[in-house]
């Protein structure tokens, strides 16, 4: 269905009248610089009406030139009049650069969502929230929601002085007594702080972290060392490590019988898109989960950071932007 046709559909009757998640245009209310390399963008419905509510830790898919990138929503998610995102500029030529260069008060932008991949566990007795760098965006959303619902939350924010987006927002929450805030300047201080805070959390606490890869590895290791069960150590990745190009492999498409050859350094996703299969995708790095496809047979070499061990062992699904394999038949 085309985006325009989708836009014309009324919201299903059982949903709130503001419910919309399809591709649509929002107005840029403001685009303000928070740090030398982060801008904060406030978006609203062109006619000012309330937007779709979202779970803390949700993201929007933002169309940025020829890219579609995910950006976490900064807000508690309840009946929002605006959507707020903060974008770190990463080099030139990509979607983040495009947003920095093109979004101004009064311009418009295409978005999809909100989508939720990092929601809080309702059974958590307390939240331990850990952010480093631009990973503050979903963490602030969790902190604001915890404050709104009066749930105990402690935040560890690891940053470089002068480059800490949303530090004032966190300090305000801490000043109001809504969260306990611990700040660390730099990676080593952050690791030390996590090492001290993990063992002090009451039973029933769930931890949520977002930040650079090395910090997330340290977070997980320190949590496990402190005796935390894996299922209470939640994390969201914005990026993935570089991967080896891998070997050539061949995939059979069950509905058509066609054989698709995937050379080293090229993904199955790219080959399926070239062959005319409409596979949803977003990050192309194995972190967002959009390109999950069913597998009928064969051996998948999973390389994503989304599926859990049980899902990987089942060998019934794969994330075709990064995973490879042998003699695979996909159920498309």
Ligand X SMILES: Cc1cc2nc3c(=O)[nH]c(=O)nc-3n(C[C@H](O)[C@H](O)[C@H](O)COP(=O)(O)OP(=O)(O)OC[C@H]3O[C@@H](n4cnc5c(N)ncnc54)[C@H](O)[C@@H]3O)c2cc1C
Q: Measured between alpha carbons, how far is 84 from 38 in angstroms, rounded to an integer?
A: 13
Say if residues 120 and 82 touch (Cβ distance below 8 Å): no
Between 45 and 237, CB nearer to ligand FES: 237
Q: Which stretch binds ligand FES (CB under 6 A): 98-106, 155-163, 205-213, 281-289?
A: 281-289
The owner of tokens 């070997």 is 247
Q: Measured between alpha carbons, how far is 271 from 282 in angstroms, rounded to an integer?
A: 16
Residue 289 interacting partner from ligand FES, ligand X, none (CB closer than 5 to 8 Å by kind): ligand FES
The owner of tokens 């919201």 is 11
Between 100 and 292, CB nearer to ligand FES: 292
* Among positions 95, 114, 133, 286, the unique one binding ligand FES when judged by CB under 6 A: 286
Residue 72 interacting partner from ligand X, ligand FES, none (CB closer than 5 to 8 Å by kind): ligand X
Closest residue by Cα to residue 282 from 113, 51, 31: 113
| Closest distance of CB 135 from ligand X, Å | 8
Q: Is 117 in the site for ligand FES (CB under 6 A)?
A: no
Say if residues 57 and 271 touch (Cβ distance below 8 Å): no
Closest residue by Cα to residue 184 from 136, 235, 124, 126: 136
* Among positions 62, 165, 178, 288, the unique one binding ligand FES when judged by CB under 6 A: 288
**What's the per-residue H, E or C state across 129-145?**
EEEEHHHHHHHHHHHHH
Q: Measured between alpha carbons, how far is 155 from 273 in angstroms, rounded to an integer?
A: 42
3-state DSSP assignment of residue 206: strand
Residue 319 interacting partner from ligand X, ligand FES, none (CB closer than 5 to 8 Å by kind): ligand FES
Q: Is 35 in the site for ligand FES (CB under 6 A)?
A: no
Kindly write out the interface string for residues 61-100 of this chain, putting x where it contacts ligand FES by CB under 6 A and - elsewhere. ----------------------------------------
Identify any residues that bridge with 129 across adjacent strands, giving them in sequence order: 155, 208
Closest residue by Cα to residue 107 from 53, 65, 67, 165: 65
Closest residue by Cα to residue 332 from 269, 255, 262, 251: 255
* Among positions 94, 152, 289, 298, the unique one binding ligand FES when judged by CB under 6 A: 289
Between 86 and 205, CB nearer to ligand X: 86
Between 170 and 197, CB nearer to ligand X: 170
Residue nearest to ligand X (CB): 94
| Closest distance of CB 44 from ligand X, Å | 18
Residue 291 interacting partner from ligand X, ligand FES, none (CB closer than 5 to 8 Å by kind): ligand FES
Q: Is 301 in the site for ligand FES (CB under 6 A)?
A: no
Between 40 and 197, CB nearer to ligand X: 40
Q: Measured between alpha carbons, how far is 193 from 189 in angstroms, rounded to an integer?
A: 6
* Among positions 68, 281, 303, 332, the unique one binding ligand FES when judged by CB under 6 A: 281
Angle at 126 between CA 121 and CA 132, to 5 degrees: 85
| Closest distance of CB 156 from ligand X, Å | 18
Q: Which stretch binds ligand FES (CB under 6 A): 93-101, 137-145, 241-249, 284-292?
A: 284-292
Identify any residues that bridge with 130 across adjacent strands, giving them in sequence order: 156, 209
Between 57 and 286, CB nearer to ligand FES: 286
Say if residues 52 and 93 touch (Cβ distance below 8 Å): no
Interface positions with ligand X (CB under 6 A): 59, 67, 69-72, 85-88, 90-91, 94-97, 117, 134, 137, 236, 238, 283-285, 287-288
Between 61 and 205, CB nearer to ligand X: 61
Return the C-alpha torsion angle 204, 210, 213, 214, nearest 10. Answer: -60
């Amino acid at each position: 269905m085309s985006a325009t046709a989708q836009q014309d559909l009324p919201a299903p009757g059982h949903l709130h009248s503001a419910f919309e998640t399809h591709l649509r245009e929002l107005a840029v209310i403001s685009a303000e610089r928070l740090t030398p390399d982060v801008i904060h963008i406030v978006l609203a419905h062109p006619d000012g009406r309330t937007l779709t509510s979202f779970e803390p830790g949700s993201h929007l898919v933002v169309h940025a030139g020829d890219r579609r990138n995910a950006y976490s929503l900064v807000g508690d998610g309840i009946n929002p009049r605006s959507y707020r995102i903060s974008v770190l500029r990463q080099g030139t030529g990509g979607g983040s650069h495009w947003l920095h260069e093109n979004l101004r008060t009064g311009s418009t932008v295409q978005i999809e969502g909100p989508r939720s991949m990092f929601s809080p566990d309702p059974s958590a007795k307390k939240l331990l929230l850990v952010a480093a760098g631009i990973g503050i965006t979903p963490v602030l959303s969790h902190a604001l929601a915890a404050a709104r619902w009066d749930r105990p939350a402690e935040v560890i924010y690891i940053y470089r002085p002068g480059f800490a987006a949303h530090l004032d927002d966190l300090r305000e929450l801490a000043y109001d007594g809504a969260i306990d805030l611990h700040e660390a300047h730099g990676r080593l201080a952050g690791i030390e702080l996590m090492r001290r805070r993990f063992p002090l959390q009451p039973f029933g606490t769930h931890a949520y972290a977002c930040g650079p890869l090395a910090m997330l590895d340290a977070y997980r290791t320190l949590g496990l060392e402190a005796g935390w069960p894996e299922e209470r150590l939640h994390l969201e990745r914005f990026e993935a490590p570089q991967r080896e190009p891998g070997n050539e492999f061949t995939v059979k498409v069950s509905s058509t019988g066609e054989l698709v050859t995937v050379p080293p350094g090229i993904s199955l996703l790219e080959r399926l898109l070239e062959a005319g299969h409409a596979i949803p995708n977003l990050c192309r790095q194995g972190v967002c989960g959009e390109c999950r496809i069913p597998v009928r047979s064969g051996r998948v070499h999973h390389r994503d950071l989304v599926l859990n061990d049980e899902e990987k062992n089942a060998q019934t699904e794969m994330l075709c932007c990064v995973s490879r394999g042998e003699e695979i038949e996909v159920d498309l």
